[in-house]
Amino acid sequence: MTTYRVVGPAAFRGHQAGEKFDAELDPEQEKRALARGSIKVVNRKPKDQEKEENDA
């Protein structure tokens, strides 16, 4: 799961500018959104860490 912040003027996936949200975006969609400045990555958990947390 990755945490993003909406930085563009337009809302993204229902989240307003400035808001943070967690999602697993399609890699190509993430690339487009980052390129156009709609969102920024705030925190990306490595897959291993995510699996450990889910197993615990």
User: Which residues of the shown chain bind another protein in the complex (CB under 8 A)?
Assistant: 7-14, 28-29, 32-33, 35-38
For another protein, give the closer residue by CB, 28 or 48. Answer: 28
For another protein, give the closer residue by CB, 11 or 51. Answer: 11
For another protein, give the closer residue by CB, 9 or 18. Answer: 9
The angle at the Cα of 15, spanning 30 to 17, to the nearest 5 degrees, equals: 90
| Residue 28: CB minimum distance to another protein, A | 8
Looking at the DSSP bridge assignments, the partners of residue 39 are: 6
The DSSP 8-state label assigned to residue 18 in this structure reads: T
4 in Cβ contact with 13 (< 8 Å) = no
